[in-house]
Amino acid sequence: MPSKSLHPESLLAHAGGGFDKTTGAVVPPIQPSTTFVRDESYELVSSGHLYSRDDNDLFRKTEALIARLEEAKDSRLFASGMAAIAAILRTVKPGGTILLQSGIYWGTTIFFRRNCERTGVKLMELDATDKDALAAAIADTKPDLVFLEVPSNPFLRVADIAAISAQTRAIGATLCVDATAATPLILKPLTLGADLVVHSATKALNGHSDVLGGVVSTADAASEAWGFITQERHDAGAVMGSFEAWLLLRGMRTLSLRVERMNANALAFAKHFDGHAKVKTVLYPGLTGHPEHALAARQMHGGFGSLMSLLIKGTKADALTATGSLDLFQRATSLGGVESLVEHRETIEGPQSGIPDTLLRLSIGIEHIDDLIADMEQALAAI
């Protein structure tokens, strides 16, 4: 195992552990077997290898690397980001209470609503950037779980993790932060007082739009919540396969380079279109005009993420015209990949999501910034 003093860039480049000690291979091997034999005395031939639902060396290697990036005590991979979130939600027993940040990823919101209605868990949704209202709600209702998304998707709001964590600790609540849009290289919620941090590994951690995955990390491996999550991963079996784990670990080897380029591109892109004649608002925490810019600058390091949204001046038809006129940006759902993507989010989620019909959500990739700006300029000119 590499020295703890190594920088994240070095850990990532070596997949968290250097060459394979058995063969000397510089690329971690894949073990696709789902089960492992016992000897004549019915002892495991290799301790720690019983069944691949938990006993997978690629899981362990990737989880150890992510835990180091997060400054976490432990991490667990899941089959998808939503599978990871589902395990977190189920830490709250029927009759309990969840406080969910409003205006976040619609898939998370609708899943929480449906699950809580079915299980008898009380669900409150509140703007986590309204500090007074949030503090009052936490103190009054004493939720079992507070779930944040920082920055939020698609509105790019930034909640104060440290302040909220002081409030949740005072009542013994679990604080979980979805930091998918930031990556562990930019935002480390556990160091700010969160108990759990979750990522859709499908996004920037893998970075190549070819793997579904999720990961949860904890600040306290002895906590009741973490005990439930690890047991839930084992018993419910929401695990990824060996090939997916290998692809995730391979993608992470270039994470630092991708994040550096994507963040630089995103900031330059946001600054260029801030105040543009055909753009009403650029939603991006890296802009000084963003309502939580100062907070984002304190919490986030090395950038502000590669996700942003543009509110186009005009109508839904104008926003769709701009989207349809883009050539380099690909019209697809997701974020964090090397290719830049655009979504007319209201079309995807529907009017019930509350997303303005002139909002375009952008995931900025690693292309040359001049090409990205030129593509958006010609698309806006089509309106």
Question: Could you give the residue numbers annotated as active site?
Answer: 53, 105, 178, 203
Q: List the structure tokens of 163.
A: 């302040």
Distances (CA, A) of 336 to 20, 85, 186, 303, 372: 29, 18, 13, 14, 15
**Cα–Cα distance measured from residue 197 to residue 181, given in angstroms and rounded to the nearest whole number:** 12
Q: List the structure tokens of 122.
A: 């009380």
Pairing assessment for the beta strands 279-283 and 145-149 based on DSSP bridges:
unpaired
Q: Which residues of 175-188 are buried (b: 16+ CB within 10 A; e: fewer)?
A: bbbbbbbbbbbbbb
User: Cα 183 to the chain's mean position, in Å?
Assistant: 7
Distances (CA, A) of 161 to 36, 134, 259, 344: 43, 12, 22, 29
**Cα–Cα distance measured from residue 88 to residue 233, given in angstroms and rounded to the nearest whole number:** 10
Cis peptide preceding 151, ω within 30 of 0: yes
Q: What single-letter DSSP state applies at residue 290?
A: S
Q: Own/partner pairs for 229-235, CB < 8 Å, 24+ apart?
A: 229/76, 229/87, 229/88, 229/91, 229/196, 230/74, 230/76, 232/87, 232/90, 233/54, 233/76, 233/78, 233/87, 234/53, 234/54
- Which amino acid type is present at position 379? A
Give the three-state DSSP class for 199.
strand
Residues whose CB is less than 8 angstroms from the CB of residue 252 and which lie 6 or more positions away in sequence, other chains included? 12, 15, 62, 65, 66, 205, 206, 207
Q: List the structure tokens of 300.
A: 């986030």
Residue 261 near residue 269 (C-beta atoms within 8 A): no
Beta bridge mates, 124: 99
Give the three-state DSSP class for 127.
coil
